A = this chain, B = another copy of it.
Amino acid sequence: MLKPFLFQSALAGLLVLTTATAWANDLTPQTREQLKAIKAHALNDDLSYQIIESLTTEVGPRMVGTPGEKASVKWAMQKMKSLGFDKVWKEESEATLWQRGELKASITQPYKQKIKALALGNSVGTNGKAVTAEVIEFENLDALKAASAGDIKGKIAFVSYKMARHRDGHGYGQAVGARVVGASEAARKGAVAFVMRSVGTDTNRFAHTGVQIYQDGVDKIPAIAISNPDADLLASMLTRNKPVTFSLTLSDTGTQNQTTTIANVIGEVTGSKYPDQVVTLGAHLDSWDVGTGAVDDGIGVGITLAAGHYLSELETRPERTLRVILFAAEEIGLHGAKDYVAKHQDEMDKHVIGAEWDFGNGKIYELEPGVGQQSLADIKAFAKMLVPMGVTLANSNDATGQSDMSELGKAGQPAVNFNPDGSDYFDFHHTENDTLDKVDREALKVNTAIYSMFALFATDSTTDFRQ
């Protein structure tokens, strides 16, 4: 349990980043010992890996609306129970269903070559026939937006922008716009299909899928992503000053526009003194259909369940409740997170603080808080414990939570983001190649230790992180 800390000015806040000794009042020796103990325990264990191995082996892909998704809900409830959570339940809601059809893609002129591609989420099919047309290339989404309809009409629009690799993954934000709205932008100017270079940093021959969203009032045209090597090939052909034609056939699965039942799976380690005060750890249980969802977001499932288990094992329960939320349908638009907020509106003010894991397999290098100015001192004191693990405190206090947790953040829940090295996250993201072997077991141990420490710190605190 933590003592209240003195208020720190913004200036002091800056100063503490430079020297450890200038930091806020420290944690109590007792708290430090407890955190060190749970850290040592997690670092010497591989429970989180075993959970990911179980999920990817016994369930595998778990796309919304598939048997894998149903199996994952059952798996998660059983796993939480076996791990010692006090309460385990699911909360169901409805989401729009989209299922992947069979895709065949090729360049047909001037040189025939098969292309490795995946439909983007929500893409319509091609009505049982091939769509074949000349390709027109755009270097990015802005170039597509700026083009005249006369150049595009009747053609296949190809956005060839290549995502850049960065530790914090910000290249994704620069690339993903084309995926989300490219098809509608192209359709508005009369394109018959939309083809894009995958949003990914790898050079493997895997396409990266992901959601695209049709805008109202625009024709729905087929939308696909091609692998980076295939995008290179298409771009090379386009340099030869001959018309390049592309052909794609995408079957309709007959499931479009249906809805399906989804379920958040929730487990609690009940607080000993303030059971209605809830600290949340989040991850998403669904995955894309093409890999086994080990990194995205099996790792999040493994870390959060392991942290819950370690808290359940303590001789003395923390005072507040830890709630682990495995969100449904994150990949197709944070549906589970939105449903959670809708269902828990009445108790959102009791959501003390939360953290999600949904960003890959790298080691955490930064703690980024999003709490009240007064309670920031507590976060700083906690962050000191992470310095030996290579974690620094971000020079900002704006976090609202990663991924699903951002919906809880919008609803007023304070948050911390633990930022891992995401340099290679987008090598695997949304591909067939997201499999168990991509999990860095050593980084996973450290990250699991950090989340376990955070869970203990926040549940055994009385601090109001909104203050």
Contacts and interface: CB of A to CB of B under 8 A. Distances in A.
A431 B240 CA distance: 27
Contact of A229 (B61, B232, B236, B435): B435
A203 B233 contact: no
Nearest to A116: B432
A431 B438 CA distance: 19
A57 B111 contact: yes
A58 interface: yes
A24 interface: no
Contacts of A237: 57
Contact of A57 (B204, B236, B292): B236
Nearest to A235: B57
A53 interface: yes
Interface residues of A, number: 34
A447 interface: no
Interface string A421-452: 00000000001110111100000000000000
Oligomeric state, in number of copies?
A: 2
B205 A291 contact: yes
A437 B228 contact: yes
Interface string A398-432: 00000000000000000000000000000000011
28 contacts: A56-B233, A57-B236, A57-B237, A57-B240, A58-B110, A60-B111, A60-B233, A61-B113, A61-B114, A113-B292, A116-B432, A203-B437, A203-B438, A204-B204, A205-B206, A205-B291, A205-B431, A205-B432, A228-B437, A229-B436, A229-B437, A232-B435, A232-B436, A232-B437, A233-B292, A233-B435, A233-B436, A236-B436
Top 3 closest pairs, chain A to chain B, by CB:
A229-B435, A60-B113, A203-B437
Interface of A: 53, 56-61, 67, 110-114, 116, 203-206, 228-229, 232-233, 236-237, 240, 291-292, 431-433, 435-438
